[in-house]
Structure 1
Amino acid sequence: MTIVSAPRIEHHRDPLGIGESRPRLSWRLSGAPDGWRQERYAVTVVREDGEERVEVTSAAQVLVPWPGRALDSRERVRVHVAVQGADGSWSDRSPETWLETGLLHADDWSAQPVGLDLDEGPESDARRATLVRRSFRIDGTIARARLYATAHGLYEAEINGIRVGSDTLSPGWTVYRERLRYYTYDVTDLLVDGENALGAWLGDGWYRGRLGWRGGHRNVFGGDLSFLGQLEIVYADGRRETVATDDSWTAALSPILRSGIYDGEDYDARQEIPGWTTASFDDDGWLPVAVRTRDPRTLVAPTAPPVRVTQEVAPIAVLTSPAGARILDFGQNLVGRVRIRVAGPRGATITLRTAEVLQEGEIYTRPLRSARSSDSYTLDGRPAGEEWEPRFTFHGFRYVEVSGWPGDLDADAAAGALIARVLHTDLERTGWFSCSDPLVEQLHRNVVWGMRGNFVDIPTDCPQRDERVGWTGDVQVFGPTASTLYDVSGMLSGWLRDVEADQLPDGTVPWFVPVIPSHKVWSPIRAGAAWGDVATLLPWTLYQRFGDDGVLATQFESARRWVDKVDSLAGPDRLWNEGFQLGDWLDPAAPPQDPADARTDRYLVATAYFARSARAVADMARVLGRTADVTHYESLAADVAAAFRAAYVRADGTMTSDAQTAYALAIVFDLLADDRQRAVAGARLADLVRAAGNRIATGFVGTPLVCDALTMTGHTDAAYDLLLEQECPSWLYQVVQGATTVWERWDAMLPDGTVNPGTMTSFNHYALGAVADWLHRSVAGLAAAEPGYRRIRFAPRLGGGLTHASATQRTPYGETSISWHVEQDELRVEVVVPVGATAELDLPGAAREELGHGAHARAVPLRP
């Protein structure tokens, strides 16, 4: 009997307050007999005024169009699905999914931003965090209540003394002038009959806090701290009431003395205001709020889950440094904050300083540059003890130096008094990998941890130093791996809208999004290969992995404008061989202070990416049915590839830049003329790997491609040699050095245990971890052969002495997996294909085989 899952609404994990009036639907199928295929589906939408049922003849089950009329603002409906097979029989209907829209129109908003009016200049960094509140009365039985909330800065809301929601660092970081995200909360159960109170904590965050390196900039997006909240109450008798932020609210200073993304948080519990969000509180003495402005047309609903605390990690050791400092070792480089539970004298101050590494037994903070990365808590002296965790900051750390602790730190840490709270965008995990080599498994774990720590509302470059911005090139190269490990469809499609918002009118894509002022190397914004190509290649990656042609439609103009910009820079010869480029950034041969000085010609890199992006736009146009654009951009891509070959490929098939990245680009981007050139390029690439002692010789551009290039040209053994090398520079060098995340530099920690002298040295940076996608696709052998895994390719490529590997992928159609192991002279493989998908099985020494849904096991002899 075919079973239909509860439908998923767009890419939402919790479809409350969604911003789509016609959300697309997806469902998964299970339990179908062999050979069964969906031929028809029926969607039923149950509304307050009745239900609509729409039947569609289609095998589609991923992101199908919304049936019936569009939803209104605040509308709450139930949706369920049934499917019909070729035999004409219908499944039982699926479980219901409740969904509710947010405020879809600008005129739905009556709230205005409000905050404390402090007489300080627009460049001030001394502004205290603040509180805002208002009391109101409930008169009657409540059917439902929703709080729609956002802020200039960061906020946490409370009703009647109880925290609203579980999100943190909300509303996140967007291009605030164009898009300010709001969140919807069901607060029905927090309200009581009679008097109530609503309030919010406010902190600087990205909106007005310090951003950027070399001292940074403050008040980049505005100088005010303001809460914008709209509480809408629906009574059982049909009455509606709105409590919105306006001039009736009051404000006061909070006990947060200082708060910043880079610098941490200082909190004085003696300045707490007990009960300030309870109905009985008397706010006499609080100040009237200042009412600010916000165009409601810029308020947008989220497309992804918020940032949340997702895990708690206890320290594995309490160390004493040579200087006598007490240091907690959490055993894992992570991103988050430390929660403390403590009892001590009033006025005592505890300080927590964070760092990723130790050097000579002390926490080593030089890699943080100007980020203070320190929190402090001054005790109120309550006999029963106190609990505190910073609200509006986060740190990247493994080690925490604790000073001023009033008790026995060793005993208290063992009892759970100091806990690291891991935070990141609360994405759904979708990809898993394992194999017989424990070092490779640790490498994969490092990639996962690195992604978690750098997907904090936006895809960042590092979580610890005075930077933490959305570098476009980093996520461009890591996008395939990110899309394997987690469901990033909603998060990255939302971030791409910010890319377009910050894209210049001439098509130039910034180096990082959202844009902040930066030193002269990065300002004014200039076009750069690999980084700007996020506009073309990331939408295509999301389409390939999640089957979402909507992201192509939304981003097509942005992608096209980027390629047109590069076309204008290249000129008639189609070679992008002028201007500032980062090239193969952080090639290990580059000097510490000049990471763009790579072995591969930076203009070879630029022209290769020009060809790849032109082809990507043609592919996007084909999916969208834009015939004229297909013709134009296919022709452009062919011209650029021909120019690339003429300029950078010699007659004998070798390249003018005789470097690993050059060959990897030419092979993977399909820029070579024929099989002969591909064979020569593959052989030369393998020779270069061997000549380097199997050590890495690629930077950000080449690293995601080099193993694929070797595998595609029949040199899988060389790819495994690269993977398994343990000498510096290599992936496993980091692992044997004790890394628990992926480093920014191959040699961020030198073999003698000292930190690389470069001023740009992060120990949590995901770009070089892009190899994990190859681990899934080639080592385990599980890949998407058609968008969204509608068709799956199982093609493990054995090597490196591995005796088993496996991968599991939670696809839009359901869970698929492969597990292989070598037993004597036989390869045994087990695969699972979800209902609605098909697969091809390509095993060494065996004919390719077509598979339908279900579990399949095969055994093939291995040739000596």
Structure 2
Amino acid sequence: LVGRLRIRAGGERGTRLVVRHAEVLENGELGIRPLRNAAATATFDLSGDDEVLESRFSFYGFRYAEITGVDVSPDDVEAVVLHTDMRRTGWFDSSHAELDRLHENVVWGMRGNFLSIPTDCPQRDERLGWTGDIQVFAPTASYLYDCDGFLTSWLRDLAHEQARTVDGSVPLVVPAALPGFGSGGPTAAWGDAATVVPTVMHERFGDVGVVQAQYASMRTWVEAVLADTDGSGLWTGRMQLGDWLDPSAPPDDPGAAKVSDDVVASAYLARSLRLTADAAELLGHDEDARRYGDLAERSRTAFAAEFVTPAGRMMNDAPTAYALALGFDLVADPPVRAALAARLADVVREGGYRIGTGFVGTPLVADALTEAGHLEVAERLLLQTECPSWLYPVTMGATTVWERWDSMLPDGTINPGEMTSFNHYALGAVADWLHRSVAGLAPAAPGYRRLRIAPRPLPALEHASTRHLTPYGDAAVAWRREGDEVVVTAVVPANTVAEVDLGDGDVHEVGSGTHTWRTAAAKPRQHPPLPGLDAMLADVIDDPRAYRALLDTLAEHAPERADAVRTGTVWGSRRALSTALMFTPPPVLAEVDAAIRAATA
């Protein structure tokens, strides 16, 4: 939580009571190393009377506190939660307990970090308004809470800080509390908050005023980026933060992602140009709309020519590269898009359905898979509990979203990286996909004057629902399984209409009121018997029975090999299981072969 303790205590005058705060325990003690230079300590000198002690000018991000100096009963200690006063407007529920816990962690992390400004983390010597974090999280935030005023205020700060820079760049943090840090020019994905957040605000709250107020900032940002390019439509060669905290990056080098900085920067250039063109059109700036629209098309074409092969492969064969190309509509040709999506599904499977994206790719990957018809792949990625994954922290007892996929390692120790937070909302941006796709409620026009009802029931769930308090009233979508059917119920508020897409090819429109539809449930995937060691690795990872049999057998007969096979195998469609078990003793191979055959018979 974010806040402080309120302690009722008494003792001899001058006795000192000390409260130390931390997010996690390590070996039974407060895990204070991630706090870096933050003392996270409150000190009180007692007056001699019974009194209530509470910090007045400090707040802490913590889950555990240690009180020393005075014996205090736990009954005399309470936590005071602090955050900016915002009305809750969005909810999600499903039949999957761990998924619901993940969503609650997203909500709780947002509350803690929406305190005056949208901070990245509340506990260590930082608490800064990092632009990249809110850029990816704004859609989720605007669904969960009425944060219109909160983000409008922060965007005004962004424009003021941007006006103080020489080249029109957006500082990495707003307010700009890190003079000189990241001052080497514009930074992709972070500075793009100038175009993305106002666009999201207009889409979710119907607020044309915020676009009008921020238009000069949007225009200044894209002009700053254009001045930093060579005129080709690409943004390359610059130091960038890129796909920050890609799980493959070493703890001491969080920017070492599988996708190149040039791919990320060029994708964001095309996107911000498109958003600025749209804003210009909305505001009636016709000349700007034409100019930025033409520049956006030039960048889109240049991106596809530079980074996409005609066969539908990205030059960086990494999930974020494919998610950017698809999610930002940087490839228009349908066959190439289909090939890109198919390869993205393959890459996700080859990685064992464990997450392979950082700050940039994570909000995009599930959507890219779903929209291309790879819903089961998106589901496996979402419900994965092995590290790294969205649900791994849940299995480790997390109550907020972590900064790193492995902020706490499986053995219960804290990640050795200097930058390790246990309350960081950016990777929780997946909740927007839960609302829009899994449950199926989204705006189809600014401010929800038109709704989109398009649930995509995950095979592993029995039901899911979402509700959002729109400017027109409550809107809701819920679905549940009944035998071979899925029953969808939706509430459309007064003075709105909804377009309904249940995935059966029929898109129609309904007015306000409560509506119910029944559709045929997708048939569960059938897994054939597998030929033991001759089975393809893709078939093993796709069949939970076979995968569990493999790992359990290795854990029993060759435990030193189990983790290496789990994390080091490329689960490809043309690689036999035997190739992943090279140098495994023959008796163990025989056990694995028999276990796979028996589990899938």
Question: What TM bracket, shorter-length normalisation?
Answer: 0.7 to 0.9
Q: How far apart, CA to CA, are the structure 2 residues paired with 1:654 and 1:863?
A: 30
Match of 1:298 in 2: none
1:381 maps to 2:40? no
Tell me the CA shift for residue 712 of structure 1.
Answer: 1.2
Pick from 542, 545, 549: which aligns with 2:208?
549
Q: How far apart, CA to CA, are the structure 1 residues paired with 2:133 and 2:184?
A: 17
Aligned-partner residue type, residue 392 of structure 1:
F
Q: Tell me if the contact between 1:721 and 1:800 (Cα under 8 Å) persists in the aligned partners.
A: no
Match of 2:272 in 1: 613
Aligned-partner residue type, residue 65 of structure 2:
V
Moved over 4 A (4+): none
Tell me the CA shift for residue 449 of structure 1.
Answer: 0.7
Q: Secondary structure at the match of 2:83?
A: strand
Pick from 152, 166, 174: which aligns with 1:513?
174
- For structure 2, the 5+ residue unaligned runs are 524-601
Tell me the CA shift for residue 571 of structure 1.
Answer: 2.1
Q: Tell me if the contact between 2:462 and 2:481 (Cα under 8 Å) persists in the aligned partners.
A: yes
Match of 2:318 in 1: 659
Tell me the CA shift for residue 388 of structure 1.
Answer: 1.9
Choose between structure 1 and 2: higher helix proportion.
Answer: 2
| Aligned 1:263-278 pairs, distance under 5 A | none
Q: How far apart, CA to CA, are the structure 1 residues paired with 2:504 and 2:178?
A: 57
Q: How far apart, CA to CA, are the structure 1 residues paired with 2:405 and 2:274?
A: 31
Q: Tell me if the contact between 1:724 and 1:800 (Cα under 8 Å) persists in the aligned partners.
A: no
Q: How far apart, CA to CA, are the structure 2 residues paired with 1:800 and 1:456?
A: 38
Q: How far apart, CA to CA, are the structure 2 residues paired with 1:845 and 1:629?
A: 40
- For structure 1, the 5+ residue unaligned runs are 1-333
Match of 1:361 in 2: 28
Tell me the CA shift for residue 846 of structure 1.
Answer: 6.2
Q: Tell me if the contact between 1:695 and 1:722 (Cα under 8 Å) persists in the aligned partners.
A: yes
Q: How far apart, CA to CA, are the structure 2 residues paired with 1:517 and 1:486?
A: 29
Q: How far apart, CA to CA, are the structure 1 residues paired with 2:48 and 2:254?
A: 51
Q: Tell me if the contact between 1:845 and 1:862 (Cα under 8 Å) persists in the aligned partners.
A: no
1:678 maps to 2:340? no
Q: How far apart, CA to CA, are the structure 2 residues paired with 1:831 and 1:642?
A: 40
Match of 2:259 in 1: 600
| Aligned 1:217-366 pairs, distance under 5 A | 334-366=1-33
Tell me the CA shift for residue 531 of structure 1.
Answer: 0.3
Identity between Structure 1 and Structure 2 (%): 55
Match of 1:777 in 2: 436
- How does the TM-score come out when normalised to structure 2? 0.86
Tell me the CA shift for residue 652 of structure 1.
Answer: 1.1
Pick from 458, 461, 466: which aligns with 1:807?
466
Aligned-partner residue type, residue 371 of structure 1:
A
Q: How far apart, CA to CA, are the structure 2 residues paired with 1:548 and 1:525?
A: 33
Q: How far apart, CA to CA, are the structure 2 residues paired with 1:561 and 1:681?
A: 33
Structure 1 residues 651 and 863 mapped into 2: Cα distance closer, same or farther (>3 Å)?
Answer: closer
Match of 1:725 in 2: 384
Q: Secondary structure at the match of 1:742?
A: coil
Q: Tell me if the contact between 2:310 and 2:336 (Cα under 8 Å) persists in the aligned partners.
A: no
1:709 maps to 2:368? yes
Aligned-partner residue type, residue 796 of structure 1:
P
Match of 2:551 in 1: none
Match of 2:452 in 1: 793
| Aligned 1:49-198 pairs, distance under 5 A | none
Aligned-partner residue type, residue 509 of structure 1:
V
Tell me the CA shift for residue 600 of structure 1.
Answer: 0.2
Pick from 488, 497, 502: which aligns with 1:838?
497
Matched residue count: 521
Q: Secondary structure at the match of 2:228?
A: helix
Q: Tell me if the contact between 1:511 and 1:528 (Cα under 8 Å) persists in the aligned partners.
A: yes
Q: How far apart, CA to CA, are the structure 1 residues paired with 2:33 and 2:411?
A: 17
Q: Tell me if the contact between 2:172 and 2:182 (Cα under 8 Å) persists in the aligned partners.
A: no
Pick from 744, 756, 775: which aligns with 2:403?
744
Q: How far apart, CA to CA, are the structure 1 residues paired with 2:265 and 2:504?
A: 39
Q: How far apart, CA to CA, are the structure 1 residues paired with 2:432 and 2:182?
A: 33
Tell me the C-alpha RMSD between the 2 structures: 1.1
Match of 1:539 in 2: 198
1:634 maps to 2:277? no
Q: How far apart, CA to CA, are the structure 1 residues paired with 2:148 and 2:141?
A: 10
Q: How far apart, CA to CA, are the structure 2 residues paired with 1:856 and 1:550?
A: 34
1:372 maps to 2:39? yes
Match of 1:255 in 2: none
Match of 1:404 in 2: 69
Tell me the CA shift for residue 419 of structure 1.
Answer: 0.5
Match of 1:288 in 2: none
Match of 1:623 in 2: 282
Q: How far apart, CA to CA, are the structure 2 residues paired with 1:735 and 1:852?
A: 39
Structure 1 residues 800 and 393 mapped into 2: Cα distance closer, same or farther (>3 Å)?
Answer: farther
- How does the TM-score come out when normalised to structure 1? 0.60
Match of 2:509 in 1: 850
Structure 1 residues 470 and 497 mapped into 2: Cα distance closer, same or farther (>3 Å)?
Answer: same
Q: Tell me if the contact between 1:728 and 1:747 (Cα under 8 Å) persists in the aligned partners.
A: yes
Tell me the CA shift for residue 404 of structure 1.
Answer: 1.2
Q: How far apart, CA to CA, are the structure 2 residues paired with 1:844 and 1:671?
A: 24
Deviations 1:570-617 (A, max 9, x none): 122121112210000000001111111100011110000000000000
Aligned-partner residue type, residue 490 of structure 1:
G
Q: How far apart, CA to CA, are the structure 2 residues paired with 1:525 and 1:810?
A: 42
Q: Tell me if the contact between 1:644 and 1:671 (Cα under 8 Å) persists in the aligned partners.
A: yes
Q: Tell me if the contact between 2:171 and 2:182 (Cα under 8 Å) persists in the aligned partners.
A: no
Match of 2:518 in 1: 859
Q: Secondary structure at the match of 2:82?
A: strand
Deviations 1:397-427 (A, max 9, x none): 0000110123xx3xx21x3x11110101111
Tell me the CA shift for residue 732 of structure 1.
Answer: 0.5
Q: How far apart, CA to CA, are the structure 2 residues paired with 1:651 and 1:717?
A: 26
Q: Secondary structure at the match of 1:339?
A: strand
Q: Tell me if the contact between 1:700 and 1:767 (Cα under 8 Å) persists in the aligned partners.
A: yes
Tell me the CA shift for residue 800 of structure 1.
Answer: 3.9
Q: Secondary structure at the match of 2:276?
A: helix
| Aligned 1:494-513 pairs, distance under 5 A | 494-503=153-162, 504-513=165-174
Q: Tell me if the contact between 2:462 and 2:480 (Cα under 8 Å) persists in the aligned partners.
A: yes
Tell me the CA shift for residue 642 of structure 1.
Answer: 0.8
Q: How far apart, CA to CA, are the structure 2 residues paired with 1:387 and 1:800?
A: 53
Deviations 1:268-323 (A, max 9, x none): xxxxxxxxxxxxxxxxxxxxxxxxxxxxxxxxxxxxxxxxxxxxxxxxxxxxxxxx
Match of 1:528 in 2: 187
Q: How far apart, CA to CA, are the structure 1 residues paired with 2:421 and 2:125?
A: 11
